[in-house]
Amino acid sequence: MSAPFSAQPFDLVIRNANVATASDTFMADIGIRNGVIEQLGRGIAPGRKEIDAAGRTVTPGGVDGHCHLDQPMPPPARMADDFDTGTRAAACGGTTTVIPFAAQVKGQSLQAAVDDYHRRASGRAHIDYAFHLIVSDPTPDVLSRELPTLIAQGHSSFKIYMTYDDLKLDDGQILDVLETAKQHNALVMVHAENADCIEWLTRRLQAGGHTAPRFHGRSRPMLVEREATHRAIALAELVDVPILIVHVSGREAVEQIRWARAHGLNIFAETCPQYLFLSADDLGVDDNYLGAKCVCSPPPRDKANQEVIWNALIEGLFTVFSSDHAPFNYGGTHGKHPDGKEVAFPYIPNGIPGIETRMPLLYSEGVLKGRITVNKFVELTSTNAARAYGLHPRKGTVAIGADADLVIWDEREVEISNDMLHHATDYTPYAGIVLKAWPGVTLSGGDVVWDGTEFHPRPGRGRFLQCAAPTLLPKK
């Protein structure tokens, strides 16, 4: 595990680390030079700086493969976090790579969406970042020219929607996008909810005067997700291409994914903290508007479904665990109160913040409670996202030659409150949850960006990453 001897001291050595990767746990010192792990071994040469990690676990920094930062929204909605505050919060929660979305508006070229997103990110990010694409208008030019060009330029994954009027694709369009992904070795992420069912239910609920935030959940019952998940799987089977179903929320979608796997289909799946830690009750048990804080899609389900998602995670159904951080303030005029008003549920911006809490929630409640191994934790929060989105082995592991993106975990009690978080969003849905761990140090490219108490800002230190083809599947 040792690299050739160099006379120069390392920039940083982490001593006595209990290193956990997706496959192994071992004791090592970690020698870092120029932002890269150069040596792993026992008793390695000194560093100009040293951190003693004795008794602590060291994991790869998280790769959050599904988060939304400064994504243009139809007015008056505006995201509360941009690349500065979003990557600040990510770093303090142990995430060292984020992959938000360059979203195409219908009628816009994909390249224009990517150019605009580069302008939003440039000089602001504190950690490395890549862009997925959101394809909302798969014209012949997008399919035959723009997508292949952008995939070659490092955007090897894109999200498509089966709901939301301004984003949704019909089945024929989905087939076209899947075929392009197959031809050019890209991965399609699918938001699976049946748009027509949601619209029909929403009309009926509103006509009956049921407009409070909790009716958001009633407008998107599990069968809406089940049907769309089934359809997405069938469309992928027809084209013979893998897909990744994002933000799986409960039993019915889980059953579809299990069925697909049992039939030998390459269906990958993601879940998110909101489906383990929030429930339908958080949308409100009465008509209180506070439930707007937890309006996201798919909505959190009942407590029994939280268990289904935990069990599916434990058994290995999920490939990745992402935040789906979609930050809207509760107060003000751009978030959950559009133009400062309490509005009917269809007009509440969808999404909750969670970029900083994703890793500590799963480390504490998954690893320390004995539900999953630390290796499974690394796989779900880091390695598999790096593989799915073509960033492995530079990201997602602790290995010689990998970027020195690391987390040293402190096992200490932390009660989550919005005050302690580093996003710019004015609330967290996880307030009051008491965790048994938090990142004690986060290193991004060998720099300490979070020391357990203080964030060390350097907007612009985060680099844009070009993603290669996914490496989740064995090469044919």
Q: Residues in the site for ligand DUC, rule: CB under 6 A? A: 68, 191, 296-297, 324, 326, 350-351
As measured in angstroms, the least distance from the Cβ of 71 to ligand DUC is 8
d(CA 400, CA 393): 10
- Taking CB under 5 A as the binding criterion, the range among 39-47, 83-91, 174-182, 186-194 that sits at the site for Zn ion is 186-194
| Position of minimal CB gap to Zn ion | 191
d(CA 385, CA 95): 12
As measured in angstroms, the least distance from the Cβ of 358 to Zn ion is 13
> Which of ligand DUC, Zn ion, none does 350 bind, CB closer than 5 to 8 A by kind?
ligand DUC
Identify which of residues 47 and 217 has a Cβ nearer to ligand DUC in the complex: 217
- Taking CB under 5 A as the binding criterion, the range among 4-12, 200-208, 319-327, 408-416 that sits at the site for Zn ion is 319-327
Identify which of residues 68 and 394 has a Cβ nearer to ligand DUC in the complex: 68
Question: Can you say whether the dihedral through the CA atoms of 310, 314, 319, 322 is positive or negative?
Answer: positive
d(CA 471, CA 186): 10
Identify which of residues 351 and 462 has a Cβ nearer to ligand DUC in the complex: 351
User: What are the Cα distances from residue 319, in Å, to 257, 268, 469?
Assistant: 11, 6, 17
Residue from 33, 126, 191, 251 touching Zn ion (CB under 5 A): that is 191
Identify which of residues 246 and 449 has a Cβ nearer to ligand DUC in the complex: 246
If one asks whether residue 324 binds Zn ion (CB under 5 A), the answer comes out as yes
If one asks whether residue 356 binds Zn ion (CB under 5 A), the answer comes out as no
If one asks whether residue 220 binds Zn ion (CB under 5 A), the answer comes out as no
Question: Can you say whether the dihedral through the CA atoms of 259, 264, 267, 271 is positive or negative?
Answer: positive
Identify which of residues 137 and 270 has a Cβ nearer to ligand DUC in the complex: 270
As measured in angstroms, the least distance from the Cβ of 24 to ligand DUC is 35
**Sequence-separated (6 or more) residues with CB below 8 Å from residue 341:** none
Residue 38 in 3-state DSSP? strand
If one asks whether residue 81 binds Zn ion (CB under 5 A), the answer comes out as no
Contact 46, 6 (CB under 8 A): no
Identify which of residues 12 and 235 has a Cβ nearer to Zn ion in the complex: 235
Closest among 158, 109, 111 to 131, alpha carbons compared: 158
> Which of ligand DUC, Zn ion, none does 96 bind, CB closer than 5 to 8 A by kind?
none
DSSP 8-state secondary structure symbol assigned to residue 216: H
Q: Which tokens belong to 125?
A: 């990010």
Helix pair angle (251-262, 303-315), 10° resolution: 30
Using CB under 5 A, list all residues that contact Zn ion.
Answer: 191, 324
